[in-house]
Amino acid sequence: MTLKEKVAALGQLTQLRREVDLLSQRIAELELAAQGGVGRVTGMPRGTARWDRTGDYAAKLADLADRLEARRGRCMDLLGALYDFIDGVEDSRMRQILTYRYVDGESWQQVAFKIGEVDEQYPRRLHNRFLESAEFDENDERAVL
């Protein structure tokens, strides 16, 4: 597995978090719409057609809630595997770098500041050297990489 593939696998957690947030926002919007949170313009002609707003939104809400739970479960599995991977790292500074970068989603500059460095390239170089030399078990189902 190349360095680029390893970094992409670790970075997937951040993308899953964003996806869970997006689905949570959509569910909140649907719940608001199902409760009649959409304002009505007064003085406009109204149609005679009946529409079951609550039933229509309830079906969409149930579908999105199922998707959200499936993705949230995947994210939690990856988060657990990521913590297992980080806990297995012997070097304390490298554990900090991996935690700040992949668990907290910090930029390289923020990681550098948090470990007491100014240059953002310092933690990135340590990170790259570590991942290039690390061995990963591709047969392990809980393995992040």
pLDDT digits (tens, 9 = 90+) for 27-63: 777 777 666 655 554 555 665 555 566 677 777 777 8
Task: State the SS3 of the chain.
Answer: CCHHHHHHHHHHHHHHHHHHHHHHHHHHHHHHHHCCCCCCCCCCCCCCCCCCHHHHHHHHHHHHHHHHHHHHHHHHHHHHHHHHHHHCCCCHHHHHHHHHHHHCCCCHHHHHHHCCCCCCHHHHHHHHHHHHHCCCCCCCCCCCC
User: Could you tell me the residue ranges of all domains in the chain?
Assistant: 3-37+53-133
Q: Express each pLDDT in 102-129 by its tens digit.
A: 888 899 999 999 999 999 999 999 999 9
Q: With a threshold of 0.85, does the pTM exceed it?
A: no
Is 89's pLDDT higher than 60?
yes
